[in-house]
Amino acid sequence: MPQPQKVYDCTIIGAGVAGLAVAALLAKDGFKVKLIESHSKPGGCASFFRNEGFRYDVGATTLSGLEEGQPIAELIKELELDKVVYKNKIGTEDKETSLRLSHSKRGIQIFQDGQIIHRYTDKEKWINESYKKLISNKNIDTEKNHRAFWNELYRIEKSAFKILKVHKNLLPNSFKDYLSCLAPSKLLASLSGLTHLPQLYLPLKYLLKKYFLSDETAFIKFLDEQLIISTQNNTEKTPIFTAALGLTYGSSIYYVYGGVNQLAVALQKRAEELGAEILMRREVLQIDIITQSPVNLSTKNNTKNSLSEDFSKTYLIKDKTGEEHLSHKIISNLTFWSMAKLTKGETQNFFQGFVNKFSYDISAFTIYLGLNTNYIPPTDYAQINLNKQIQHCCSHSFYISFSRPDDEIKASEGGLNIIISTHTKAQEWLNLPEEEYLKKKTETESYILEELFNTIPELVKEDGNTENETVQSSIELAASESRISLDKIRYKIKSLISGTAKTFLHYTKRKNGVVGGLPHSVDYSFFELMPKKVPNENIYMVGDTGFPGQGLVSTVYSALSVRESL
């Protein structure tokens, strides 16, 4: 059996964005870092693939948390990720590129009940648009209440990010963490955080009732469909605090040239430049404790000694190739489902407790579409809210991400990269006979594509609109002409692949192919989520199935939090 060559300070399991972020940050701090990943590409659920000249993000297609002081902005600034140079395939050539972000100032188009609702990034323009398009009982009092509703959400969002900027230990795991909350520089933020406690337990419907908006059905439909994307829940179940973050993100949404996976690519390159060892195609099979004794570790530059502050253990990590790795600390970017299978004893019981507690079964149905068209969408993102549930799914809407015409990484000239996603129950797609699986997949794919092309017919018109034409033309075309048959426009499709829970299970190895992390819900406390450190072990957790939950902003925050603890 191969013998380990050296003991690392920290070994990260999983090259998702959180795993790569904490690897780069700890390497920057001088720790001896190794990262082990089962796949050939970085990013985890934010990975990518290519098909017929199009480059598709597997999961997340939008990026937020990039305003001054917010988690992803902080990460990019500290690691200077915008200065990292790496290669991308553009056409048939590999060319040097770097992380390129652009604020989606044009906002998001939402198609609902025969009208286009423009989700402007400007707060005042958005509040006015929301009142104009979504509120039926128009009077002075309703207008004031509607404005107060949105102003409260924006206040919560602003306060939340102020707290996150100061506090990296919102769910303290140790006496040291609790003491840090009382430090003079953090005390004000700690007290501010306490004022938000009720908002963690009360659902958004409470706020709707407070502002007399409970009978506004179109408005609530809009909110529900926005929340299913951002929190995987609705106005009945989403806590006010997380609803505020989920409903205001449209004001600071960013387009990533080449796709969101570019963030993972830049993080991997930076981590390696800082000295982290990264091993790909190394699926971890088992984690064992082999020694338990006091050690005296310090970093290369002797600026941190936190590893010597506890009774350190040495862990043996075995991967699928037969290689073994020794480490004093483990940072896992895996889910608690996976960790329950890799660990033993009390540690396994810890993870199994969360497996038993959270019966999560939400996955995604995603369509990766490449069109031959000269149409330039007026916004980078859109959402189509339907009046009935999508076939074989658990949502009434689907979200659409378009490539920009100057994004040569996502699509070549004359091509439009479109990623469509909606929510579905994982069990809907598992353990089916192949013929039945393919039939259901084709039915859902065809239904969504027909709704897409009939709601935005310019996509497949021979003389498709350009971005300078009015956005209202979509509705006018859809209303004035007969429905578009999918069979008649298939020649426009250059690339078409659909993914289900079965697909995500194969590639991510997450239980049942679930995606998106744990939904934020009033059914359980924010503080019942898995903490970042396993009790009595030197095992830390980052990612979307622990605190503070789902989304890239949360996963990056989890990396910053673990880094602070170490």
Name, in order, each residue with C-beta under 8 angstroms of 84's C-beta and a sequence gap of 6 or more.
98, 99, 266, 269, 270, 273
**Mind listing the pLDDT tens digit for each residue in 239-271?**
999 999 999 988 889 999 999 999 999 999 999
Give the whole-angstrom CA distance, residue 424 versus residue 247: 21
Whether residues 504 and 526 share a domain: the answer is no
Q: 188: which residues sit within 8 A by CB, 6+ positions away?
A: none
Q: Which amino acid is at 37?
A: E
Say whether both 453 and 382 belong to one domain.
Answer: yes
Residue 59, pLDDT score: 87
Query: What is the pLDDT at residue 524?
Result: 84
Query: For residue 414, how many other CB atoms are within 10 A of its CB?
Result: 11
- CA gyration radius, the chain: 24
C-alpha closest to that of 420 among 170, 41, 61: 61
Predicted local distance difference test score (pLDDT) of residue 186: 66
Please count the structural domains in the chain.
Answer: 3
Instruction: Show the domain range for 191.
Output: 122-252
> Does residue 435 sit in the same domain as residue 461?
yes
Name residue, tokens 């990484």: 409
Q: Burial of 497 by CB count in 10 Å (0-12 exposed, 13-18 middle, 19+ buried)?
A: middle
Examine residue 163 and state whether it is found in any structural domain, yes or no.
yes
- Write out pLDDT tens, residues 473-523: 555 544 555 788 888 888 999 999 999 999 998 888 888 999 888 888 899
Tell me: do 370 and 488 sit in the same domain.
yes
Nearest to 328 by CA among 21, 25, 3, 34: 34
Let me know if residue 449 belongs to a domain: yes
Q: What integer pLDDT is reported at residue 172 of this predicted model?
A: 62
Query: What confidence score (pLDDT) does residue 304 get?
Result: 45
Going by C-beta distance under 8 Å and a sequence separation of 6 or more, which residues neighbour residue 368? 49, 51, 54, 56, 419, 495, 496, 497, 498, 499
Angle between helices 71-79 and 552-565 (to 10 degrees): 60
Indicate whether 427 and 475 sit together in one domain: yes
What pTM was estimated for this model as a whole?
Answer: 0.91
* Structural domain contains residue 107: no
Residue 4 is classified by DSSP as P
Residue environment code for 113-144, b if the CB has 16+ CB neighbours within 10 A, otherwise e: eeebbbbbbeeeebbebbbebbbeeeeeebee
Q: Are 134 and 166 in the same domain?
A: yes
Decide: residue 212, CB within 10 A, 0-12 exposed, 13-18 middle, 19+ buried: middle
Residue 446 lies in a domain: yes
Judge whether 344 lies within some domain.
yes
Based on the domain organization, do 503 and 527 belong to the same domain?
A: no
Pair type for strands 381-385 and 415-425: unpaired
Q: d(Cα 496, Cα 418) in Å, to the nearest integer?
A: 10
Tell me the C-alpha distance between 322 and 287, whole Å.
Answer: 13
User: Can you spell out the DSSP letters for 273-331?
Assistant: HTT-EEE-S--EEEEEEEEE-------TTSS--GGGSS--EEEEEEETTS-EEEEEEEE
Q: Which tokens go with 431? A: 């353990």
- What distance in Å separates the CA atoms of residue 351 and residue 331, rounded to the nearest whole number? 14
Instruction: Evaluate whether residue 117 is within a structural domain.
Output: no
| Shared domain check, 311 and 209 | no
Identify the three-state secondary structure at position 253. Answer: coil
Q: In the listed set 206, 233, 252, which residue is the last one of a domain according to the structure?
A: 252
**3-state SS assignment for residue 400:** strand
Q: Please, what are the averages of pLDDT over each run of 10 residues along the chain (566 residues)?
A: 74 97 98 96 91 92 89 95 94 92 94 96 96 96 97 94 79 64 68 80 96 97 94 94 92 94 97 97 94 50 43 86 95 95 95 90 95 94 97 96 96 93 95 96 96 94 53 50 80 95 89 85 83 92 83 91 90
Residues 432 and 557 in one domain: no
Q: Among 234, 252, 270, where does a domain finish?
A: 252
Buried b (16+ CB within 10 A) or exposed e, 282-315: bebeebebeeeeeeebebeeeebebbeeeebbbb
367 and 504 share one domain: yes
User: Where are the alpha helices (H) located in 29-117, listed in sequence order?
Assistant: 71-79
Q: Which residues contact 478 (CB under 8 A, 6 or more apart)?
A: 454, 455, 456, 457
- CATH classification at residue 312: 3.50.50.60
Largest CA distance in the chain: 77
Same domain, 63 and 159: no
pLDDT at 250: 86
Q: Supply the pLDDT for residue 408.
A: 95
Instruction: Give the burial string for 63-96 (b: 16+ CB within 10 Å, else e).
Output: bbbbeeebbbbbbbeebebeebeeebeeeeeeee
CA distance 261 to 267: 10
Say if residues 515 and 426 touch (Cβ distance below 8 Å).
no
User: Does 2 map to a domain?
Assistant: no
User: 21: part of which helix (H) or strand (E)?
Assistant: helix 17-28
Token pair of 103 as six digits: 């604020």
How far is 231 from 359, CA to CA, in rounded Å?
Answer: 16
Looking at the fold, whether 138 and 28 belong to one and the same domain comes out as: no
pLDDT digits (tens, 9 = 90+) for 292-327: 654 444 444 444 444 444 446 899 999 999 999 999
Question: Which residue do the tokens 């862990």 mark?
Answer: 315
127 assigned to some structural domain:
yes
- Last-in-domain residue among 252, 287, 316: 252
